[in-house]
Structure 1
């Protein structure tokens, strides 16, 4: 099983800046985004999946087309990411990062 991504890498930052932002920026009315989106582990993992899917677009037999990327990747992840009521960025704005942690999931560590 793949480990969760917890740090922003150059490829992902470039993908968000050059691919995702130009595609999705016009749709942000009524959607949540975070000025410091890389501070959210779930966002890093979802955006990495979008980036990985983008890298699968091509002419080879195992590759996907752009329509498939939109349908399976972008149209799946972005409504979850940007949902203002239930999404992982719901405590944020495009100008500021806000934490939505409630500590309701705290539990003793396995070593205790």
Structure 2
């Protein structure tokens, strides 16, 4: 027996019939789980989270961020730069991953200024740091060529260094702020008089 929706499924009255699977901007099928109809205000129905538009940060950068960005790129230690192999730079990958997750969250948000905030408070500062041709992580690259940049040198952290009861070294008496140059200058000037 067919129902009001033209198929043989027995739908609960609290659900809309599923439609054909919607596709995201990247072409993947979105969830077709029937969504509850809005009920009385006293009933709180948990909405299933909307799926991401992009499967990963690479898809986000390639299909959305890079096409949206525009600007003069110089590279080689000057102006703004970009590396076609951006994923080979850890800092770039980590920051762009954070931007992708933030973009997905802003897109889902019901806050009208969420996407604007994503641009102004997150994307613009990250891109200034990433694309800085003098000090950014891609400073030696050009849009045509990738150049590996070594990580900062480190030595292993001693075992237990970050434990709460670590007392091998006492913190400096000044709390790590360093000398107060105002008092040093005042004493030096007073000593000279």
1:43-58 aligned within 5 A = 43-58=92-107
1:91 partner SS = coil
**Would the aligned equivalents of 1:34 and 1:89 in 2 still touch at CA under 8 Å?**
yes
Does residue 78 of structure 2 align to residue 32 of structure 1? no
Distance 1:74 1:94, change over 3 A: same
Structure possessing the higher relative contact order (Cα contacts under 8 Å, 6 or more residues apart): 1
* Counterpart position of 2:153: 105
Runs of 4+ in 1 over 3 A off after TM superposition: 58-64, 106-111
TM-score by length of structure 1 reads: 0.74
Distance 1:106 1:48 in 2: 25
Does residue 62 of structure 2 align to residue 13 of structure 1? no
User: Which has the larger share of helix?
Assistant: 1
* Counterpart position of 2:121: 72
Q: List gaps (5 residues or longer) in structure 1.
A: 1-9
Distance 1:110 1:53, change over 3 A: same
* Number of aligned residue pairs: 100
TM-score by length of structure 2 reads: 0.45
Cα RMSD for the two superposed structures: 2.4
